[in-house]
Amino acid sequence: MRVLVTGGAGFKGCVVAETLRAAGHEVTVFDTFRYGDGPGIGLLRHGIRVVRGDVTIPEMVSAEVSHHDAVVHLAGLVGFPLCDAEPIMAHEVNVTGTRNVVAAMHPDQLLVYASTGSVYGRVEGTCVEDRTPAPLTLYGRTKLAGERHALDFGGVILRFATIYGVSPCMRFDLMVNAFVYRAIHIGWMVLYQADDRRSFLDVGDAAESYRFALGHYDDMAGQVFNVGDPKLNLTKRDIAEAVGDRFPMRIVYHDVATDPDQRDYEVSFEKIRSVGYKAELSLVDSIDQIGAAARLNSGEAMWRFRP
């Protein structure tokens, strides 16, 4: 298929674009290159078409959407810190941008929308897809609003676990990546709410889920799916200790802050597993790869927010 990947030069988008191209799709990346054009230039070597564009500008969106069989919509401001810092832009990109994408599409095209477990808010017990979302942050609220536009079209909604791993557009502010970075460059960390439970997923497995959704679209259209690995329903303590086993560091347990998303729950991935998707990548192998990437960094903390 001819697949348009919005936000395809971001942390997850680069890996998604490469994965789809390797699967034989013709891929176009549509991105503002807010954090530099290096990742986009790198994608050219994979035979990927790269276009500078902005989902908040309807004319740019419609011009590209019309040439494709499917749209994988990743473009967005990701994470509550960035959305809180730029609330107007968060709404424009995450909500208006999604509306623009949907408005440009024809009924015979395919749409896969990138969402997040942050839409659930505070949950007692296990997160399942039919639970009514109650997001507690602007990030969660804007992603939920985007979901509704995508569902109105009949698209596939993928609610992701917390992503980690290595990408051509590298981030070190994601939890697992951040813990590895601190272990290597600082040697210690303060961990708050250590026994809060989260779900995690390597960016490579996340990218594979988009290829899977396009290949199983008829079975998934018009539905919401949690995407992750039941083995990676872990506490923050579990992650810190797993990192410490590979890269020794001192961990100080002290509740100096609270998570605005109030995420402390297990997530069920049975629905997407029932249609055949399964995560494959090892946490330990991913930690080692992140460590190699962190060592290549200059040592100056890379707490830049990237889509």
Q: Do residues 45 and 21 touch, judged by C-beta distance below 8 A?
A: no
Retrieve residue 47's tokens.
Answer: 């035979």
Question: Is residue 172 classed as helix, strand or coil in its secondary structure?
Answer: coil
Q: Do residues 144 and 188 touch, judged by C-beta distance below 8 A?
A: no
Q: State residue 125's pLDDT score.
A: 82
**What global pTM score does this model have?**
0.92
Q: Which helix (H) or strand (E) holds 201?
A: strand 197-202
**307 residues of the chain, pLDDT tens digit each:** 999 999 999 999 999 999 999 999 999 999 999 888 888 899 999 999 999 999 999 999 999 999 999 999 999 999 888 888 999 999 999 999 999 999 999 999 999 999 999 999 888 889 999 999 999 999 999 999 999 999 999 999 999 999 999 999 999 989 999 999 999 999 999 998 898 898 999 999 999 999 999 999 999 999 999 999 999 999 999 999 999 999 999 999 988 777 766 677 889 999 999 999 999 999 999 999 999 999 998 655 444 433 3
3-state secondary structure 231-267: HHEEEHHHHHHHHHHHCCCEEEECCCCCCCCCCCCEE
What is Dmax (Cα atoms) for the chain?
Answer: 55
- Beta strands at 110-116 and 70-73: parallel, antiparallel or unpaired: parallel
Q: Which domains does the chain have, with CATH numbers?
A: 2-163+200-227 (3.40.50.720)
- The upper half-sphere exposure of residue 216, i.e. CA atoms within 13 Å in the direction of its Cβ, equals 17
- The upper half-sphere exposure of residue 73, i.e. CA atoms within 13 Å in the direction of its Cβ, equals 39
Q: State residue 255's pLDDT score.
A: 82
> Measured between alpha carbons, how far is 179 from 287 in angstroms, rounded to an integer?
10
